[in-house]
Amino acid sequence: MNTSKIETTAEAWDGRALGASADHVAVAEAAHEQALDKAMELQSISIRLPKQLIEQYKLIAHFHGVGYQPLMRDILTRFVPNALQEIMQTQMKQAKEAAAVSRVAPKKKASLTR
C-alpha cells in the first residue's frame, strides 16, 4: 500500500484542482443528511430576510470561499456567546446594585407597645 503524500495535495484541494470535478459529485441521500444533522445537532429553520441583504450576504460568502449558510452559522456562533456574556454582566450589575440599595436602606425599628 502506498501511503506517501502527494506533494502540493493541500494546495490542489484549496485551488480546486482536486475535488471540483462534476464527475465526482453526488447528492447525498436523505438518510445521510438526517444522520449528519443529528450528529452535528443541526436543526433546519426558516427565516425571512430582505432580498438585497441575502444577495449581499452571498457575495460576502463567495468572497470568503464558503457557502452563505455555513457563513451565517459561523457568524451566529461568534455572536451568541458575546451576547450571552453581555446579558450576564448586566444581570450581575443589577443584582449588585439591588444588594447595595438594600444594605443602605434604613431599617425600620420595631415599635414598642406598652
Section 68-87 average pLDDT: 96
pLDDT of residue 105: 64
pLDDT score, position 75? 96
- Output the nine-digit C-alpha cell for 37: 444533522
Give the span between the Cα atoms of 51 and 73, in whole angstroms. Answer: 19
What pLDDT score was predicted for residue 72? 94
The pLDDT score that the predictor gives to residue 44 is: 87
Q: What is the mean pLDDT of the chain?
A: 86
14 falls in which pLDDT band (50, 70, 90)? confident
Residue 114 has pLDDT above 60, yes or no: no
Cα separations in angstroms, 68 against 25, 43, 54: 20, 16, 9
Spell out the residues 6+ positions from residue 12 whose beta carbon is closer than 8 angstroms to its own.
Answer: 6, 18
